[in-house]
Amino acid sequence: MKFFGTDGIRGEVFKNIDHKIAFDCGNALCRLKDSPKIILGKDTRVSGDYITMSFCLGAILGGATVVDVDICPSATVAYLAKNLGYDFGIVITASHNPPTHNGIKIFNENGQKLGDENEDRLENYFGDYIRKDVMQLGKYKKLPKLKQKYINFLKKSIKCDLSKLKIVLDCCHGASTEIAPKIFKRLGAKVVIINGSPDGRKINVRCGATDVAKLKIAVKNNKADVGFAFDGDSDRIIGVDEKGEEIDGDKIIFVVANYLKQHNILKNNLVVGTKLTNLGIQNALKDNKIDIKLADIGDKYVIEEMLKSGAVLGGEKSGHIIMSDYLQTGDGILCAVKLAEILKLSQKKFSELANVEIYPQICINCPVKDKYAVINNKNLDNFIKDIEAHCADKLSILVRKSGTENVIRIMVMGKNEILAKKYAQLLEQKVKEIDQDL
């Protein structure tokens, strides 16, 4: 696919995404469904209106009705699409990427991200416009009050209030700035907010789920019980415990899985991770008699595996956590609310709940001229197989292409950090050799 990556269309504005791509995408949806009903939201980026209006023009030309709920988390759109009978949910966002980037996420009528097959179909219609007669053109409405339905859903998702908990929220100047503080205050928590202005020029800049340095300081300075950081569209969450230590997505899965198992609500005693899930987490789950299946990188692949296996919990180290009994997509605010509930009901510290050995994980991003040629190179494949045969019981290896950059991502993980670093560097050297020979 030319435009779609692992999470919709995403890239630098005017370079990888512009008004034409947005227009094409909106219009192409009218090929998948005649005169579809579309619900749309966006994060706080400066380019949000530019991409939104372009998308809506294409959709309206094709006969779609677009309902715009304005700035909100991606999960808000997924929830409303599923529960209010929309054909598609659209979020104008570049998620955790810099302010100069933007993108388009697409959910189906069940609140799930489009699969690869439908993305491929959609992309084939780009530029092949459908234009309704003037009396059949679509409509655009702005209904931000619909977000209240999502807030009500969050409030009903837990069985207790959050009184006596002190919580720091890092909203990263993004889509969570309105809803996250509101729901935690309504649930009775004492809330401290950092990076809480809806400022698209600062979104994800040294804050949020990709940089929790300020959150760590805020949790310790405020003597809080826990801190939660969201990314630009709030589909990711990273935690910070009461000691100011980071709790990443792997550890969050560990905490939630153990709690669900203790209460006999972890269906099939199974969770879904990815090929990046830390080996320490995998082994600790197995020690607790919890099985784990590994999906490809990307939360849409996690939910696909969850649906196949019947798991109700899945996620990624990066902070995409999916609780399919509630929603079939990553939802940082929902996960934060559920983690706060676990803290309140267990009467334990976050550091205690997340106490698990993490194995060293060496990650290298290697820029290349042609990521497709490198990743499909037989010499690289044979080199990886040789390492795996030699170190099968000691290391876990993942070499993949980036979804948005001309980069090969190398990950080597194992208990022995020196060994992991050695083979990560050898893989980097091999990738560079292959790239030079292209």
What residues are annotated to the active site? 95
Residues whose CB falls within 8 Å of the CB of residue 411, separated by 6 or more in sequence, listed in order: 276, 361, 362, 363, 364, 396, 397, 398, 399, 424
Residue 303 C-alpha from the chain's centroid:
11
Structure tokens at 20: 């034409």
Residues whose CB falls within 8 Å of the CB of residue 392, separated by 6 or more in sequence, listed in order: none
How far apart CA 161 and CA 235 sit, in angstroms, is 23
Give the CA angle between residues 255, 276, 228 to the nearest 5°: 40
- DSSP letter at 99 equals T
- DSSP letter at 296 equals P
Could you tell me where the beta strands, DSSP code E, fall in 127-230? Answer: 139-142, 166-170, 190-194, 226-230
Cβ-contact 26, 54 below 8 angstroms: yes
How far apart CA 115 and CA 329 sit, in angstroms, is 13
Can you tell me whether residue 67 is helix, strand or coil? strand
User: Residue 22: what residue type?
Assistant: A
Helices (H), 237-370: 249-262, 279-287, 299-309, 332-346, 350-353
Q: In Å, how far are 3, 207, 411 from 372, measured between CA atoms?
A: 15, 32, 18
How far apart CA 290 and CA 268 sit, in angstroms, is 9
> Could you count the other beta carbons within 10 Å of the beta carbon of residue 388?
13
